[in-house]
Amino acid sequence: MLRILIFFLSNLISHINGNHFTFDAVSLITSSDNWLNEEIPCIGDRIRFDNSMPVVAFMDHNVDVESIHLPNNGLIVFTDNGANFGDDVHWQCAKDNLEEPKDVFFTRGNGRDISFYNPKNWIPDRKLFLHMNQVPSEVDDVTVSSMSSAQIYLDLPVKVNTFRFYKREVSLIFHY
């Protein structure tokens, strides 16, 4: 019983000091996690977006497709260098000339919940035992580490110690 109490208290004290969390649910077009059924578009396909929810997509590489049907509500972010259409697309699969283009859907609703409170979206520097400590709190530091865009669903107000977006500290007040 004493071991359990000591473990619980040490876990609680380590959380009071704060932890660093990295947001891991980025919206890169080259990530198969962001495509319906993890099916990325092949060269010559048509990219479509889920119009039932706001979409945030990061064009982190060139793309070679027949068309891109833009979302009704959302944004597409390009890298600082831009993205070329029809150039060097090593991340896409090739098609033979007889294969017809098909619709491929960029969606974040493929089993990957983008909620701030989903522990699967966070990588903590220190692993914590309690489920409630597996998402950032007001004593923790948060980073979206890669140059990308991120879509985080907030259904309650959030307060964190610091928030960094790609090497820059940001002062934000999140509202829902």
Within 10 A of 96 (CB to CB), how many other CB atoms are there?
5
What average pLDDT does the structure give for the chain? 78
Higher pLDDT, 76 or 103: 103
* Residue range 14-39: mean pLDDT, rounded: 82
pLDDT tens string 93-110: 888 878 899 999 998 654
Q: What is the pLDDT of residue 176?
A: 46
User: Measured on CA atoms in the order 130, 135, 140, 142, is the torsion positive or negative?
Assistant: positive
Instruction: Identify the CA nearest to 117 among candidates 26, 5, 25.
Output: 25
97-126 burial, b at 16+ Cβ within 10 Å, e below that, comes to: eeeeeeebbbbbebeeebebbeeebbebee
Beta bridge partners of 167: none
Name the CA radius of gyration of the chain, rounded. 20
pLDDT tens string 132-171: 568 888 889 988 866 667 777 777 888 888 888 766 656 5
Residue 172 above 80 pLDDT? no
Q: What is the pLDDT of residue 145?
A: 67
Calpha distance 116→159 (Å, rounded): 11
